[in-house]
Structure 1
């Protein structure tokens, strides 16, 4: 980071800046080094967003007056047309003074729990697979979130926050559990897997995300996970069981892995009442050669291909939650909405890139 940029960011940490929404009496304050988006969400505003990290483009806005410092100028969430028109991503902008913006807020995005920053201490780790590990952190305050949401972790030695979903349930003890997949040469996961020790501290900022469990409908639930998308789906399943939702409906849990050694999730579900009856686990391996090499007798293919085979043709009878690699989530979304006409209101996921 250049000296000028570093100076700007240091200034925003010590100064507060008013941000006005054009055509509205709404004004909120950016403080503490927040981005425009996080400041809006902490103020309880319905600012549209998904990934909170520059990839999806949902938080686009126009500057009416004032200036911003852009944290990631090349963020893929902006198209070339957006750049020509001067549009910005709220998750990648820090106001450098009083700011006026144009954005259409939406009640759907109003946070049900306002995001907060917490100092958190690592208290335990446990391997889930050969490349997924659960990290458990504790904060002094209660862990307040909705099942399926994520938080942003600020890790010492890592250049930017990373978003990870919680796998546990909200609790008064202040425990936040994350099931994180190791990324080859990934800066954050290298630090987490190889440098972070029990007792070390990180900052947890959250909760964020809109793909949380909806309890107010009678439809059967389908959770679909791949990679570390396991965490939010485990949290949703735990919450559905704890809320008593599975007395009158089923929950189908799908996990897709490249090889049989990548499959996981079932042990977490086996701990819940109703496993094998109200909770049904389905696993799918995409690498047919690896499956054949060990005489794998389970499902082979892409996980989305198995949904209609195992659930039947009328997928619109279900409520869908999913998380995982972008190609998987894109394929699921297209199949549900285009091929099977599942209403958008029954499809819940946060886009990450």
Structure 2
């Protein structure tokens, strides 16, 4: 475990401390410094920086977020590097990445788990110190026997019961999900670090809300709907919830929305299946979920606030549709990239 170090960013002249065990990125965010990032897991490449002076330790040399071209140019990923002694870096930062709540480490114990679908399970943890986060954010979980942290989005909303709920899809051969699904038992302890993420619910927007989820992207979208409902945002606005599934048996989400006030009126649920069964039992929308937006919403899409989470092809298609096809301002589009 690394010793405490001082990190200076020559782009903005700011300095922050790195505590033992933290990456450069986590140290910055914990200090309230808005280094650019998204996944915090080495996949998106949003936290690239250049080392100007000093020594660093690379935690994941083969992280996909860093190309060979990046390496030749001397770039690194702040989420996958630690300072070894005091260093000076050149890293992008922006006010929009300053965390609304400073992330913190704490222990949490598994309280319960239940199946949502054949391959998605909801895990409920009770943390030692609290559950303060913004709807739509995620936490980094340190699981027993698993090297490196895993990022999972919360499905619930901040609460005084210290509960953190995660709806997680089982990934074949995935070390994190194998531990969660097959080895972790009620009462077992994990490490929880959060909150992280910039795709959280904006409460100051007057626009109707559109949530689009695919796969285990369900969790942050459910959190956003719950947050909007609890915060009274849906007293005057409408919310459209699209869920993209591969097959009918993958469809989920409605059970979490139905208990909310205004479901069926101000909250509308639209499931979309890309590969319906040949027996023809599926009677809902088919195709890709992003193709349903224009048909269901109608009118200018620039009049909505968009949140989405899901597989990279889905999020990429949505970005192109909204920003290129419909000129939706970037400030109305909220997502965190995961790979």
Specify the TM-score bucket, using the shorter chain as the normaliser.
over 0.9
Gaps of 5+ in 2: none
Asked whether 1:90 is paired with 2:78, we answer: yes
Deviation at 1:249, TM superposition (A): 1.1
Distance 1:325 1:24, change over 3 A: closer
The answer for the alignment partner of 1:332 in structure 2 is: 318
What aligned pairs does 1:300-319 form with structure 2 within 5 A after superposition?
300-319=286-305
1:82-231 equivalences under 5 Å are 82-231=70-219
Output the CA distance in 2 between the equivalents of 1:335 and 1:89: 29
The C-alpha deviation readout for 1:293-331, integer Å capped at 9, x for no partner, is: 242111010000000000014111100000011111111
Going from structure 1 to structure 2, the CA distance change for 1:312 and 1:202 (only over 3 Å counts) comes to same
Aligned mates of 2:168, 2:24 — CA distance in 1 = 27
SS of residue paired to 2:148: coil
Partner of residue 17, structure 1: 5
Does the 8 Å CA contact 1:141/1:172 hold for their aligned counterparts? no
SS, match of residue 82 in structure 2: strand
> 2:31 aligned with 1:58, yes or no?
no
Question: 1:45, 1:122 → 2: CA distance?
Answer: 31
CA distance, structure 2, for counterparts of residue 253 and residue 201 of structure 1: 34
Unaligned segments of structure 1, at least 5 residues: 1-9
Secondary structure of 1:96's match? strand
Structure 1 runs (4+) deviating above 6 angstroms are none
The corresponding residue for 2:270 is: 282
Give the match's secondary structure for 1:67. Answer: strand
The partner residue of 1:297 within 280, 283, 289 is: 283
CA deviation after TM superposition for structure 1 residue 25, in Å: 4.2
The 2-side partners of 1:215 and 1:275 are apart by: 20
Specify which of 321, 324, 330 is matched with residue 344 of structure 1. 330
Deviation of 1:81 (Å): 2.3
CA–CA distance in structure 1, aligned partners of residues 261 and 11 of structure 2: 52
Partner of 1:123: helix, strand, or coil? strand
Give the TM-score, by structure 2 length: 0.98
Give SS of 2:125's match: strand
Hey, what's the Cα distance between the residues in 2 that align with 1:90 and 1:137? 28
- RMSD value over aligned CA atoms? 1.0
1:222-301 to structure 2, matched below 5 A, reads: 222-288=210-276, 290=277, 292-301=278-287
User: CA contact under 8 A between 1:141 and 1:173: conserved in structure 2?
Assistant: no
Q: Is the 8 A contact 1:142 1:173 kept in 2?
A: yes
Instruction: State the shift of 1:78 in Å.
Output: 1.7
Residue 23 of structure 1, CA deviation: 5.4
Kept in 1: contact 2:50–2:75 (CA 8 A): yes
* Matched position secondary structure for 1:69: strand
Decide which of 59, 64, 84 is 1:71's aligned counterpart. 59
> C-alpha distance in 2, partners of 1:126/1:250?
30
CA contact (8 A) 2:11 2:92 kept: no
